[in-house]
């Protein structure tokens, strides 16, 4: 599999774009992780709420149990402490809910910040790179199979932009039809260069 062009200038551009793309992907992933870590820190407040509610609920329950065992006043005095214990449990549940909400927000923001830009980079960078690799492999296979100059020239006529032909000939199609050897070689060279394949 040919990843880079055989031509130095084209190869240098490919390497530069690859480095920029990989660096951009790493930067966006790093930013997503950074935002995740910033937001998830807000869950500490929920942890404190949960811990405080649990401790308060346990304390009120213990006090209610102690006073509840006292003769005469035990049954009546236990109710307020049980109510206070219920308030502590509500605070504990609120702390857990806050942690879940912060976690969901942190995950959503972290992935959202990283995934969309990375997917865009992959679309505009990796897809053309894969196309180049496939085209280079096809061209190299055809060259090894003994493709002729006129067929390479025909591939150039079908694959290259019209603006590229101006440097070759004013009417490259007519020149190809009449078998002009110089135009044929120039067109074949264009196709090979675009495919990143150099015939040695």
d(CA 139, CA 82): 82
Specify if 36 maps to a domain. Answer: yes
- The per-residue pLDDT for 41 is 87
> Which range has the worst mean pLDDT, 20-24, 69-73, 185-189?
69-73
The whole-number pLDDT of residue 18 equals 95
Cβ neighbours around 50 below 10 Å, total = 20
Residue 139 lies in a domain: no
**Averaged pLDDT for residues 144-173:** 81
Same-domain pairing of 83 and 116: yes
If asked whether residues 124 and 163 sit together in one domain, one would say: no
Question: Is 161 a member of any domain?
Answer: yes
Say if residue 98 is in the same domain as residue 184.
no
**What total number of domains does the chain contain?**
2
> 75 and 153 share a domain?
no
- Are residues 160 and 78 part of one domain? no
- 51 versus 114: the higher-pLDDT residue is 114
Is there a single domain that holds both residue 118 and residue 151?
Answer: no
- What residues make up the domain containing 175? 147-200
pTM of the model: 0.71
Among 12-16, 67-71, 114-118, the minimum mean pLDDT is found in 67-71
Closest of 183, 163, 37 to residue 105, by C-alpha: 37
Separation CA 153–CA 168 (nearest Å)? 11
Q: Work out the pLDDT band at 184, boundaries 50, 70, 90.
A: confident
Q: Mean of the per-residue pLDDT values for the chain?
A: 85
In this prediction, residue 73 carries a pLDDT of: 61
Sequence-distant (6+) residues with CB within 8 A of 160 are 187, 190, 191, 194
| Domain contains 2 | no
Verify that 35 and 111 share a domain, yes or no. Answer: yes
Grade residue 108 by pLDDT with cuts at 50, 70 and 90.
very high
- Show which of 89, 109, 132 is a domain's final residue: 132
pLDDT beyond 60 at 74: no
Q: Is residue 141, in this structure, part of any structural domain at all?
A: no
- Is 82:60 a contact under the CB 8 Å cutoff? yes
44 lies in the same domain as 114:
yes
One domain, residues 14 and 110: yes
Percent with pLDDT over 90 in the chain: 30
Q: Is residue 56 part of a domain?
A: yes
Q: What is the pLDDT of residue 34?
A: 94
């Amino acid at each position: 599999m040919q990843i880079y062009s055989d031509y130095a200038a084209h190869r240098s551009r490919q390497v530069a774009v690859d480095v920029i793309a990989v660096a951009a992907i790493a930067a966006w992933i790093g930013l997503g992780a950074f935002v995740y870590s910033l937001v998830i820190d807000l869950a500490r407040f929920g942890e404190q709420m949960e811990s405080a509610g649990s401790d308060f609920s346990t304390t009120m329950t213990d006090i209610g149990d102690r006073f509840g065992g006292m003769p005469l006043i035990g049954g009546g005095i236990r109710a307020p402490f049980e109510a206070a214990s219920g308030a502590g449990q509500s605070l504990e549940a609120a702390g857990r809910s806050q942690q879940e909400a912060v976690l969901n927000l942190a995950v959503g923001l972290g992935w959202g910040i990283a995934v969309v830009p990375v997917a865009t980079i992959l679309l505009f960078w990796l897809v053309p790179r894969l196309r180049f690799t496939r085209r280079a492999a096809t061209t190299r296979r055809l060259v090894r199979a003994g493709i002729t100059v006129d067929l390479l020239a025909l591939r150039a006529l079908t694959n290259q932009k019209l603006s590229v032909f101006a440097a070759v000939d004013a009417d490259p199609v007519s020149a190809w039809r009449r078998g002009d050897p110089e135009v044929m070689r120039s067109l074949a060279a264009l196709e090979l260069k675009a495919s990143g394949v150099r015939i040695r």
